């Protein structure tokens, strides 16, 4: 009986290890890749507004369109592999998934809510691989 119980426990542990390897085997790769996503996000967000309206008529418009398309494709690939973005603006501060970097005095918003997201966070199969950098509304 004892030997059978030991074998069953070993089988369960082995199955759990295999599942974790499948779910989180790309964690190191994902951590490296999210920095590339950050740079691409910064480039798209900080492009002058005129570039968006020029469209395909100019080389810069084509470059902007290519960068935004690449960013959308990258987010689809992330989602297909269990990597989801975390931009918790307006949500209640959660220290498990967010890194408070500063406080913001704002009498119009409720205390301990996220006022600003400075860095996108990422979850891999519901495990935090990088917390979101946020500015939190301080208590007045």
Mean pLDDT of the chain: 89
How far, in Å, CA of 48 to CA of 95, rounded? Answer: 34
Residue extents of the structural domains in the chain? 1-81, 83-140
Distance CA 17, CA 41 (A): 35
Percent above pLDDT 70 for the chain: 97
pLDDT at 21: 82
Q: Which segments within the chain are labelled E, that is strand?
A: 83-86, 98-104, 114-119, 121-124, 127-130, 132-137
| pLDDT reported for residue 13 | 94
Domain 1-81 part of CATH 3.30.720? no
Q: Which residues of 2-11 are buried (b: 16+ CB within 10 A; e: fewer)?
A: eeeeeeeeee
**pLDDT tens profile 101-121:** 999 998 888 888 999 999 999
pTM listed for this prediction: 0.76
Instruction: Determine the pLDDT at residue 54.
Output: 65
Render pLDDT for 55-98 as a digit per residue (tens, 0 to 9): 667 788 888 888 999 999 999 999 998 899 999 999 999 999 99
The domain 83-140 is classified under which CATH number: 3.30.1490.190, 3.40.50.1820, 3.30.56.10, 2.30.22.10?
2.30.22.10
Q: Which of 47-51, 98-102, 135-139 has the highest mean pLDDT?
A: 98-102
State residue 88's pLDDT score: 94
């Amino acid at each position: 009986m004892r030997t059978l119980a030991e074998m069953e426990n070993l089988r369960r542990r082995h199955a759990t290890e295999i599942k974790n390897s499948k779910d989180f085997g790309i964690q190191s790769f994902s951590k490296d890749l999210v920095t590339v996503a950050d740079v691409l996000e910064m480039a798209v967000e900080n492009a002058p507004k005129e570039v968006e309206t020029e469209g395909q008529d100019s080389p810069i418009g084509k470059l902007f369109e290519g960068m935004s398309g690449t960013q959308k494709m990258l987010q689809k690939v992330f989602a297909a592999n269990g990597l989801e973005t975390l931009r918790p603006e307006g949500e209640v501060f959660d220290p498990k998934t967010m890194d408070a970097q500063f406080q913001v005095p704002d009498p119009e918003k409720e205390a301990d809510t996220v006022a600003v997201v400075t860095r996108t966070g990422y979850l891999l199969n519901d495990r935090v691989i990088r917390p979101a950098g946020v500015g939190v509304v301080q208590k007045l």
